[in-house]
Structure 1
Amino acid sequence: MTTGVGFIGAGPVTQAIHLPVVAGLSDRLHVARVMDVDEATAAAVAARAGAAHGTSVEELLADPAVEIVAVCSPHAFHAEQAEAACLAGKKAVLVEKPLATTLDDARRIAKASKDTGVPIVVGAMHTYDPAWLAAERHWGDLPATARRVRSRIVLPPNARFETLATQLHAEPVFPARGGDPSDPAVRAASLRGAILGLAIHNLPLVRRFLPRVEHVDLARPLTPFGYVLTFRGGARTAELIGYLHGGWREEWSFEVWGDGGELRLDFTPSYVRAGSAVADLRTVAGLRTFGPNPDNGYTAEWRHLAALATGAEALRYPAADLVDDLAYALDLAERAADLLLQGRAA
């Protein structure tokens, strides 16, 4: 018997990323039900997996065939739906990033998880990437001696990858961003959205080496979507660049420089099933390279969910850590937005 998965939300991430990954793990997982507020989308996406469908979250949670719940709905609904999945007694819950939109909501999810014993996993796929985990086992005191961190996410628009990964049903049409781009309030809102929508992928990695954000030196939104950020915590500095551009060139990298070593990871784009990152770890002992592994972070994440559901593994990242990751992202977003509102960002 394989474990049944229910999807709350059948948008592009569900269609182009999660469904193909679950299909590739058919020895342990199957799609049991797909829910979407648009019935035609729910029906079309469920038909691909031979699953039941509907427009009701309550129906999905009441379905005994649904043992793992994947919350892939708009961010504002994550807390309510993740809490409900825990209270329904499911075996595990995946919440797409961000865990929630407020710290109070994140704590609400963590409390529900603790009270019910239902493990929560956040869709921060790079924290499950095999190359990242291999480097972590060998980097020694690099987190304690790190001095500089850099994250670069430079990609074509998601829609290009989505249409290559699958034939999207009901491809979403996002409303144009309104407001005067020279208005500091508009720029601040754009930057906050970019941090919680794009930078958040790598922020759990950044937090391992720069645990506290104490001062944001530079905060600049990029058009059509992106950011440039520099910030400090103690004697450590971080530079974050994220940009969705009009071309095809991509770079998804993460780098750390410390007193006793250096680390660089090069990740594959989210929608491309091209295996894990490659991690180069340089210490006094020499250069070690980890990866590429055939599985990327999404596959590793779903393997972990399947193992949680059967009791074969313990939860890798406790709920308290997930709350701290969100607190870090929210703090950075608010500090960067405040810098723009004060008119001091370059």
Structure 2
Amino acid sequence: MSTPILGVGIIGAGPVTQAIHLPTLSRLEDLFRVVHIMDVDAEVAASVAARVGAKATTSIDDVLGDDEAQIIVICSPSPFHAEQVIAACRAGKTAVLCEKPFAMSAEEAEQIAAVSADTGVPIIVGAMHTFDPGWLAARQHWADLVESVHTIRYSVVLPPNARFEDVATEVLTRPVHAPADPTDPEVAFRMLRGGILGLAIHDLPLVRVLCSDVSRVEVLSATALDPSGYSVTLRVGDCTVEMLAIFSQGFSTEWYLEAIADDRSLRIDFTPSYVHAGSATATLFEGTSARVLGPFSMNGYEGEWRFLADLAHGTAEPIDVHELVDDLRFALEVSDLASAAARDNAISMRSTREA
């Protein structure tokens, strides 16, 4: 017997909706139908909604009040996420998918957890790597690797998002960012905070799984990179965590995560953001042998939507919202410490140049 198609309401019709969610949902027409799209820009809302035959609005209340919109997707600017997730839960929706981060503070996250528990509405966060089949396969096969990991390396080298967005779809309106000077201490602070909560947040939940102890976090170094990016070295419990991310005008791409122990290691090579081209590939190394898992046909974006369908139809267990809160707490701690360290580093470098 076929399962009923789920109606989707989307709040925020920017590049993430246009270049990630709508292309993904176009491959899942047997599971979902976009019924309502909201954006503060009426022309954008109307144009994007027309692509999928959905209703358009500038009012969140219209989407939350639409009985056909069973799944609510939050793709608005981050400062609005918490209040909109809470409103979607209180509207009695079937499930909520919120783009990362789903809150801007631990206090907001706890409020979301309380409302989710009170209403019974499950929440997932759109950190796509946690749903990537390559990552999930690695978790099933790495045995006791986590117990002995001492070094984690995470590296991202990408061209600007717009290059991938324009391949995925014809994007209407996107934010215009003025050139940033990473030698300015306050700019360095904002670059690190934005980079970690906007990019590293995809993989910090993975780091939290791979580090056996995340109760102690120390920043050893943090630098904002020109033209855009960061280099951060942490001590997380007994693990050294190296994080590198840079956006360049080149065409080469790299997005990988390594977990290294004395006698074995794991490397996961992810596809870039906005690329709808299958899963990551995970390679488990032990001695001279290597076991390759993937790539699988489904990527993390599709994985999170298929999980939503299973949640809605009662065939999957909801994610413990307190796990999401703990992921966010970890990301916020890393962001706070690293951005402060980057500002201090920029101040020190400026003082050295002026001496």
Q: TM-score range by the shorter chain?
A: over 0.9
Residue 322 of structure 2 corresponds to residue 320 of structure 1:
yes
Q: Which residue matches 1:259?
A: 262
Residue 298 of structure 2 corresponds to residue 270 of structure 1:
no
- Shift of residue 184, structure 1, vs aligned partner: 1.7
1:200-279 map, 5 Å = 200-210=201-211, 211-212=213-214, 213-279=216-282
Which of the numbers 146, 154, 175 marks the counterpart of 1:173? 175
Residue 116 of structure 2 corresponds to residue 113 of structure 1:
yes
Q: Which residue matches 1:185?
A: 186
- Shift of residue 155, structure 1, vs aligned partner: 0.5
Distance 2:237 2:133 in 1: 30
Which of the numbers 333, 336, 341 marks the counterpart of 1:334? 336
CA contact (8 A) 2:12 2:37 kept: yes
Residue 27 of structure 2 corresponds to residue 2 of structure 1:
no
Distance 2:140 2:191 in 1: 37
- Shift of residue 185, structure 1, vs aligned partner: 2.4
Distance 2:275 2:168 in 1: 7
CA contact (8 A) 1:261 1:284 kept: yes
Q: Which residue matches 1:305?
A: 308
| Alignment coverage as a number of residue pairs | 343
Q: Percent identity?
A: 49
Counterpart residue type for residue 70 of structure 2: E
CA contact (8 A) 1:142 1:260 kept: no
Distance 2:108 2:291 in 1: 41
Structure 1 gap segments, 5+ residues each? none
Distance 1:343 1:322 in 2: 31
Residue 44 of structure 2 corresponds to residue 44 of structure 1:
no
Q: Which residue matches 1:99?
A: 102
- Shift of residue 53, structure 1, vs aligned partner: 1.1
Distance 1:220 1:64 in 2: 48
Distance 2:99 2:64 in 1: 17
CA contact (8 A) 1:252 1:266 kept: yes
Distance 2:324 2:286 in 1: 30
- Shift of residue 340, structure 1, vs aligned partner: 2.9
CA contact (8 A) 2:182 2:191 kept: no
Distance 1:333 1:128 in 2: 23
- Shift of residue 181, structure 1, vs aligned partner: 4.1
Distance 1:341 1:222 in 2: 12
CA contact (8 A) 1:16 1:165 kept: yes
Counterpart residue type for residue 176 of structure 1: A
Distance 2:43 2:237 in 1: 52
Distance 2:234 2:108 in 1: 26
SS of aligned partner of 2:29? coil
SS of aligned partner of 2:187? helix
TM-score by length of 2: 0.93
CA contact (8 A) 2:224 2:342 kept: no
Which of the numbers 107, 123, 127 marks the counterpart of 1:124? 127
Counterpart residue type for residue 66 of structure 2: D
CA contact (8 A) 1:3 1:30 kept: yes
Deviations 1:177-215 (A, max 9, x none): 67x643322211221111111111111111112242521
Deviations 1:68-113 (A, max 9, x none): 0000000000000000000011011000011111111111111111
Distance 1:310 1:32 in 2: 19
SS of aligned partner of 2:101? coil
- Shift of residue 341, structure 1, vs aligned partner: 3.6
Distance 2:345 2:158 in 1: 28
SS of aligned partner of 1:342? helix
Q: Which residue matches 1:291?
A: 294
SS of aligned partner of 1:263? strand
